[in-house]
Amino acid sequence: MTEPNSQDKNNFLYPRSRYYGKFQPENLVFNANLQEFTQKISYITCLETVGKLSQEEAYQQIRALWKKLKHSKKELAIGVNKEI
């Protein structure tokens, strides 16, 4: 039996969607961060659903991810009017 291609496995485990928004480097970075956030939330909720994580553990992990995403948004100045 052959081992699945590593790239195929990564694409399956960590899918990425194309970005269709306004092209700015900070928007692309935030979009990648947002996709990573949603993927991790999906894993956490699945683990909680099957009993591998308690509700409190799931909540704490999601809360930490949310804080990290908020910090990313602030650092990248997403949603801030940047008129010169």
Q: What is the pLDDT of residues 8-62, one digit of tens each?
A: 766 666 566 777 777 888 988 999 999 999 999 999 999 999 999 999 999 999 9
Q: What is the pLDDT of residue 19?
A: 72
Is the pTM here over 0.85, yes or no?
Answer: no
Q: What is the pLDDT of residue 74?
A: 96
CA Rg value for the chain: 16
Coil, strand or helix: which one is 8?
helix
Q: What is the pLDDT of residue 40?
A: 96
Torsion angle of the four alpha carbons 70, 75, 77, 66, in this order, in degrees rounded to the nearest 10: -10
Statement: residue 81 has pLDDT above 80: no
> Which carries the bigger pLDDT value, residue 18 or residue 70?
70
Rounded Cα–Cα distance for residues 82 and 84 (Å): 6
